[in-house]
Structure 1
Amino acid sequence: MTRSAVLRSLRTIVPDTVIEQHEVRDIFASQPDVGRLAQRIIGASFNGSGIDTRHTVIEELSSTASTDATLFFDRESGLLQSPGTAARNDVYIREASRLFVEVARSALDADPDIVAADVTHVITASCTGFHAPGPEYEIVRGLGLSDSVQRYHLGFMGCYASLPALRAASQFCAADPDAVVLVVSVELCTVHLRSSEDPDLIVANSLFADGAAAGIVTARDLPTPVPAVRLDGFHTAIAAEGEKDMAWTIGDHGFEMILSTKVPQIIGETIIGAIRPLYAREGELAAAFDEGRVGERVEHWAIHPGGRSILDRVQERLQLSDAQLHPARETLRENGNMSSATVLFVIKRILDDGAADGSRVAAMAFGPGLTAESALMTVTTGVS
């Protein structure tokens, strides 16, 4: 019988620079091109975000920074700058390349049974910058992996990209039981922040942050039990009515996120139909889902915290407890929305909090399209 793939040795990294939400709010609200209405929207968006702190590669945004850099923010004048897309992408190339290698190495170092020579595939995900050779190449060279390692990059998919990356990894393992797949996501959303009176961009400015995550996916029978999740199944759905409400385009002064205030409502209206097929394969779990009791049967919920209102709507529609949403809300509060890396942060928090062996995890992430990616997992720690 073919063994299911597991995600193990999950590790996360955030940049050293911490920004306090109230300080960034005041910076954006004080810009000379921002009128009173926009100032009120900025206040409401930042104050209601559910975020206390975020991390960024832009050192000058921190009130305690010692840097003289002024590419993004001139602290002496208090003015946000508007660098071009090329300048922003240069920052991405420099900082993301470092983080991709660092977090991938951390995942490998954390695994007691896997070494660099075992890696057969590398899958990277990022939507906040471009370069070639890309991050999957940087990881192979930076970690001294074999040149023959198969490399794949999922680019510009948005916040849900880590779940297709995990699905692809599990499919590689189904095709080759000896496969060892390194899955790595790095997002530097803050390199695209800019002053604006546009409500969608204001919401984006209030939410997005930088972070990196990596894990190892394999179906090998390894000797050492470690906190992990078995990848049981995946499902993709599209809420086409939200296509124009969540999008990611390239402008002259950075990438521009469209994240309208309609997104939580659309997710609330479509989520039941979007994820029902995933549960339909699960017998008693399917019955619990149809009866509105899925929260009683699936203990842990790794919901991508696209924003506080999205988590509120998911919790309401699926009748989940505050405890079940706690990992997602805490990830949002401490780190903000790190695009595709965020759901991996939530899964890691669930494992770090001591999820019991055999307990189930439901993962969900949303992105442009409006696309809803979902997955079912089972905690497998080897400890009863």
Structure 2
Amino acid sequence: MALSFFPSSFSSYIVFLLCRVDYFRFTNVLLFSMFIISMALKFYMSRSRKVFLVDFTCYKPRDALKCSYETFMDQIKQVGVFSEESLRFKKNILNKSGLGESTYLPEAFMRSPPIKCMEEARKEAKTVLFGVIDELLTKTRVKASEIGILVVNSSLFTPTPSYVSMIINHYNFRVNVLSYNLSGMGCSAALISVDLAKNLLKVHPNSYALVASTENNTLNWYLGNNRSMLVTNCLFRMGAGAVLLSNRTSDHCRAKYQLMHIVRTHKGNEDHGYGCTYQEEDTSGIVGVSLSKELPKVSEGALKSNISTLAPLVLPISDCLRLIFNKVGVKLFQMKSFSPNFNHAFEHFCIHPGGRAILDKVEKSLKLTEWQMEPSRSTLYRFGNTSSSSLWYELAYLEAKGRIKKGDRVWQIAFGAGFKCNSAVWKSLRTINPGDDDKNPWVDEIDTFSVHMQREA
């Protein structure tokens, strides 16, 4: 039986051997091809996917919620808890704040007398978040059911159910959506949320991520007379921003920006940084957020730490070498510190408008011009400090001014309690035509803003 396996004639045996050789050759080629294909797939799956910012929106409240200096002072007098000294202090802070006469405060504050309760806080949260997400879904033509990742941040207001549950319930998101609710992260939380979404998009192919950023004013008004806690009442205003991120290759053609870098710096290991923005009770047991006088200085130090990590990623090699040699010279020979020129790396700057003093510090540290500071100062003037969403109002300002051209690089810088400095670098994928977006919050009044008006405010 075993001999019958072999061919009977010599010629047939030769043919048999040739067929066996071809068979083994084919098998080897097939196995090698499968190996190459599997390695290529592994590389494709493990490589860093590009993250695109498809579009974004900023919430613009209705005109009835505009709050001038006079309206602000009249409303806080009705609360009946502030001393005359505190009222004078608030007025002085307003005059120096850099805020204009048309910022917005929630409906609860504008009532007579103002109201502070959970129901009104939820109402503010739903108003701004549903409003800004509605606009984003309309602009991008993306359905809520298509979104696989949802990240929401709000520092002080943490209701149960959470913000993400509120949004999932309202829009009927799919049951397996990856949802994250960030709190206590301060004004830099928008970039932390983007960083989280970016990392999730790396491992979830063909996905959309929705990032929503806001802060709640209704329930976080300080009703005491501690000066360091009264400042927040004067600076923070109503607003929200929503961003749609994607790792889909097909979105490259319609996306506005590509995320190039995110650098996060945390100075919580230093006590003076950790405590410069601190939520606590005053001597009367009233909860508020205390802002230290050292805040601008701490912000400057955190920015320098952030720059030391970001600089090698974005600066030309010549500037990087000069920066390295300067660091050695400072330590060994007490040389004067060298500040790199970031005009070589970026066309536009969006710096968190935490207040006029912080913007002044950053302007001096980075040696920026008034034109480069205009988006930040204009945002502070028109919308106030809307916490983490402020960066998106600044980017919207640049778009409304028609400054974003294809290939431009935008540097966003944000500061947050803890103390943190986070930055993001975006590259514009196309020239943005201001006339294409009638939902831009600046569209009706952008021509009234100039470089100098905010310094004169």
TM over 0.5: yes
- Normalised TM-score (structure 2): 0.72
Residues 75 and 113, structure 2, Cα contact 8 Å, conserved in 1: no
The residue number in structure 1 matching 2:279 is 248
1:361 maps onto 2:410 in alignment: yes
Work out the CA distance in 2 between the residues paired with 1:235 and 1:122.
21
CA deviation digits over 1:283-327, x for unaligned, max 9?
517827945211343111111101011011001100011111111
266, 289, 305: which is aligned to 2:353?
305
CA apart distance, 1:30: 8.8
Flag the structure with higher helix content.
2
Residues 25 and 46, structure 1, Cα contact 8 Å, conserved in 2: no
| Worse-superposed segment, 157-166 or 102-111 | 102-111
Work out the CA distance in 2 between the residues paired with 1:271 and 1:60.
34
1:314 maps onto 2:343 in alignment: no
SS in structure 2 of the partner of residue 153 of structure 1: strand
| Worse-superposed segment, 189-198 or 150-159 | 189-198
1:257 maps onto 2:306 in alignment: no
1:220 maps onto 2:248 in alignment: yes
SS in structure 2 of the partner of residue 217 of structure 1: strand
CA 1:216–1:250: 2 relative to 1, 3 Å: farther
Give the counterpart letter for 1:212 in structure 2: A
SS in structure 1 of the partner of residue 97 of structure 2: coil
Residues 127 and 187, structure 1, Cα contact 8 Å, conserved in 2: yes
CA 1:22–1:293: 2 relative to 1, 3 Å: farther
The residue number in structure 2 matching 1:5 is 51
Work out the CA distance in 2 between the residues paired with 1:349 and 1:254.
37
The residue number in structure 1 matching 2:98 is 50
The residue number in structure 2 matching 1:277 is 309
The residue number in structure 1 matching 2:399 is 351
CA apart distance, 1:140: 2.0
SS in structure 2 of the partner of residue 188 of structure 1: coil
CA apart distance, 1:366: 0.9
CA 1:227–1:344: 2 relative to 1, 3 Å: same
SS in structure 1 of the partner of residue 250 of structure 2: coil
Identity of aligned residues (%): 22
SS in structure 2 of the partner of residue 172 of structure 1: helix
Residues 189 and 338, structure 1, Cα contact 8 Å, conserved in 2: no
SS in structure 2 of the partner of residue 333 of structure 1: helix
Higher relative contact order structure (alpha carbons within 8 Å, sequence separation ≥ 6): 1
CA deviation digits over 1:112-141, x for unaligned, max 9?
4x3333211111111231222222122222
Residues 234 and 376, structure 1, Cα contact 8 Å, conserved in 2: yes
The residue number in structure 2 matching 1:100 is 129
The residue number in structure 2 matching 1:14 is 60
1:233 maps onto 2:261 in alignment: yes
After TM superposition, the structure 1 = structure 2 runs for residues 123-134 of structure 1, keeping only pairs within 5 Å, are 123-134=151-162
Work out the CA distance in 1 between the residues paired with 2:73 and 2:292.
19
CA apart distance, 1:9: 1.7
CA 1:283–1:318: 2 relative to 1, 3 Å: closer
CA deviation digits over 1:145-200, x for unaligned, max 9?
21221111111211111101001111111112311001111222244224443221
CA apart distance, 1:6: 1.6
Residues 6 and 230, structure 1, Cα contact 8 Å, conserved in 2: yes
1:268 maps onto 2:300 in alignment: yes
Work out the CA distance in 2 between the residues paired with 1:160 and 1:249.
20
CA 1:20–1:296: 2 relative to 1, 3 Å: farther
The residue number in structure 1 matching 2:113 is 70
Work out the CA distance in 2 between the residues paired with 1:242 and 1:132.
30
SS in structure 2 of the partner of residue 200 of structure 1: helix
| Worse-superposed segment, 352-361 or 321-330 | 352-361
Residues 232 and 376, structure 1, Cα contact 8 Å, conserved in 2: yes
Matched pairs, number: 363
Work out the CA distance in 2 between the residues paired with 1:149 and 1:2.
22
Work out the CA distance in 2 between the residues paired with 1:45 and 1:281.
39
CA 1:8–1:274: 2 relative to 1, 3 Å: same
The residue number in structure 1 matching 2:29 is none
Work out the CA distance in 1 between the residues paired with 2:263 and 2:90.
35
CA 1:229–1:138: 2 relative to 1, 3 Å: same
Work out the CA distance in 1 between the residues paired with 2:409 and 2:222.
40
CA 1:5–1:328: 2 relative to 1, 3 Å: same
The residue number in structure 2 matching 1:335 is 383
Segments of structure 2 that go 5 or more residues without pairing to the other structure are: 1-46, 324-338, 434-457
Give the counterpart letter for 1:24 in structure 2: F
Segments of structure 1 that go 5 or more residues without pairing to the other structure are: 62-66, 73-82
1:140 maps onto 2:140 in alignment: no
The residue number in structure 2 matching 1:156 is 184
CA apart distance, 1:266: 2.0
